[in-house]
Structure formats: C-alpha cells, structure tokens
Amino acid sequence: MLGLINCCLFCCRFLVLEQFVGLKLSMFGGHVTVPVNSPHLRKSGSRQLFSELETSEMKGAGSTQLAAAAMLPSPVLLWRLKVMLFFLWGFSCCKISWDSVMRMSLDLRDLFLYEAFLYYNPLLLVTAAVWFWGANLWVFSQSNVNYSKIFDLDQNHLTHKEIWKVATWMTIIVPTSMTSYLYLYSHGEVSWAASQPVLLYTAVAIILIFPFDIFYLSSRFFLLRTLWRIVFPFQASLSILPSRYYSFDVDSCDYAIAFADFFVADILTSMSKVFSDLERSVCRMVHRQFIGRDYC
C-alpha cells in the first residue's frame, strides 16, 4: 500500500517536472507541444485566446447596445406623447380663435370670417386631399396593388406613411397661421394679420420649387413635371401637326403623356372650386398688400 502511494507521488512529480521543463525549453527556443485547451499553459497565438477575446468584445458590444436601447423611450410612449401634444395644440388653436371672434362686433365679424375663409379654405382643402391620398396609398398597399408601376414611379416614391407625415405638418402649419390671423386681426393689428396668409402662400411656393435635396426633392419635382405636362401637353400638340414640322421622335420625348398625367389632371378638375377660391384669395392679397385697394 505504501509502495502504491509512493508510485503515485512519483508520477505526479514527473508530470509537474515535464511541464516545467517544456516551458523552459519553449522559452529558450526548444520545441515543445502544449495542449491548446490546457487551462494552465497556452500558446500566445492559439485560436482559443482569440475566440475568447472576440467573445468578450461581442459581449461588450451587445451590452452597450442594450444599454443604449434601454436609455431610449419606447415607441408607444413617444406616440402617446405626440398625440397628447397634438390635441393640446388643437385645443389651444380653437380657444384662441373662439376668443378672437367673440371680441369683434357683429358687423365686423361677418366680413372677418369671410376673409379668413377665403384665404385659408384652399390650403385646408389641399391638406384634406393629401390626407385622402395617403389613405388611397394605404388601401393600395393593403390590396397588393402595384401603384408605383401604374403611375410610373421610381423606387424612391413616397409611401402612405410619408404622405401622412406631410399631411400632419400641413394640418399643423395652416391652422396655426389662421389662428395667428384671427388673433392679430381681432387685436387691431390689421397689417400684421394681412401678412399671415401672404407668408403662408409664399412659403408653400418656395418649398415646392426648393432646389436642394430636402423635403422630398424627387417627389416634388415629379409633381412639378406632371403639372408642367398637364399645362403644356407638348406631345398632344405635336400629334395634331404633320411629322414634317418636327425632326424628332414624339414617342420617345420626355413630354410623353403618362397615366399619372391623366390621374392628376382628373384630381385637379375635381378641385376646380379650390382653384377658384385660390385665385380670389391671391387677387385679394396682392391688391391689399401692394395696391391698397380691393378689386376682387
């Protein structure tokens, strides 16, 4: 029994000595084979070391992303906050507008409401049309209708969510300008009140023709090109003339009439009352601001 114990101790000492000698040999250039998975000795360039480093880096990156995600509020909370601010803004506009109208006399109130309706009715109806156009795109997407191919749109066309975002900003800006007009007019600031619709229409025109890549540049220019083809149907005019009067292919011209032209022209035809009010409001604004007399 004692001999067996001495034999086990000798074997253990031999294994320890072998590892120590192998380590010394590797330090002085000797060749020694060390197990890769050994918890005590490991090569400096072994795969296990790099895998552990990569694992630790991945864990660190994952923990950083989780910490950043934990710092951001939830989308549901942001949506509720937006809805609450929207209703608060709507209540404020209604309250200010009501108080402004009640400050006026009965004789002045009718003229005042007529002018406010004349100035802001076109843009309010256009805002409603943008909301309904977003609803149409939502129905198309839910019904798997490839409307981008039907209207000859590129891959960067606006979706129904982006259309509704534009309609939301229009819903905020137009009533805010109208509330400012009502408030300034009721408090005797007639010149400042008259400048509110002028600034609004000027801002809309500038945004439509803004040449920089903001506010959906490709979509704005697609709309402007479509309106240009509707106002100046170049191909339709050339098709009436004999071919000897022009030396290019009409079918390959950039002014070729597309389905989008017919569709937008049909929408504009349905909005004839909007354009009638727009013409009268612009005429009234121009004559009051620059001429001083009302001819409209």
Query: Per-residue pLDDT for 295 more than 90?
Result: no
Show me where the domains of the chain are located.
78-291
Given this model, what pLDDT does residue 107 score? 77
Query: Per-residue pLDDT for 47 more than 50?
Result: no
Per the model's pLDDT, the better-predicted residue between 68 and 151 turns out to be 151
CA angle 264-134-259, nearest 5°?
25
Which of 8-12, 109-113, 123-127 has the highest mean predicted lDDT (pLDDT)? 123-127
Given this model, what pLDDT does residue 65 score? 60
CB 260 within 8 A of CB 94: no
Given this model, what pLDDT does residue 14 score? 46
| Mean pLDDT calculated for residue range 108-130 | 88
What span, in angstroms and rounded, lies between the C-alpha atoms of 235 and 252? 10
Give 153's pLDDT tier (boundaries 50, 70, 90).
confident
Report the percentage of the chain scoring pLDDT > 90.
Answer: 23
Summarize pLDDT for 171-202 with one digit per residue, the tens.
Answer: 999 999 999 998 998 888 888 888 899 999 99
Given this model, what pLDDT does residue 236 score? 54
DSSP 48: H
CB 294 within 8 A of CB 287: yes
Which of 16-25, 26-35, 112-121 has the highest mean predicted lDDT (pLDDT)? 112-121
Given this model, what pLDDT does residue 203 score? 93
Q: Average per-residue pLDDT in the chain?
A: 75
Query: Per-residue pLDDT for 22 more than 50?
Result: no
Range of weakest confidence among 70-84, 158-172, 235-249? 235-249
Summarize pLDDT for 212-234 with one digit per residue, the tens.
Answer: 888 888 888 888 888 888 887 76
What span, in angstroms and rounded, lies between the C-alpha atoms of 222 and 243? 29
Three-class secondary structure of residue 228 per DSSP: helix
Given this model, what pLDDT does residue 4 score? 44
Instruction: For residue 100, give the nearest of 112, 111, 91 by alpha carbon.
Output: 112
User: 206 is written with which tokens?
Assistant: 């500038």
| Mean pLDDT calculated for residue range 110-133 | 89
Residue 110 φ/ψ, nearest 5 degrees: -65, -45
Residue 260 φ/ψ, nearest 5 degrees: -60, -35
What span, in angstroms and rounded, lies between the C-alpha atoms of 234 and 87? 48
Give 31's pLDDT tier (boundaries 50, 70, 90).
very low
Rounding to the nearest 10 degrees, give the CA dihedral for residues 50, 53, 59, 63: -150
Q: What is the DSSP string of 167-221?
A: HHHHHHHHHHHHHHHHHHHHTT-HHHHHHHHHHHHHHHHHHHH--SS-S-HHHHH
Given this model, what pLDDT does residue 39 score? 47
Per the model's pLDDT, the better-predicted residue between 239 and 215 turns out to be 215
Quickly count: other Cβ atoms within 10 Å of residue 154's Cβ: 9
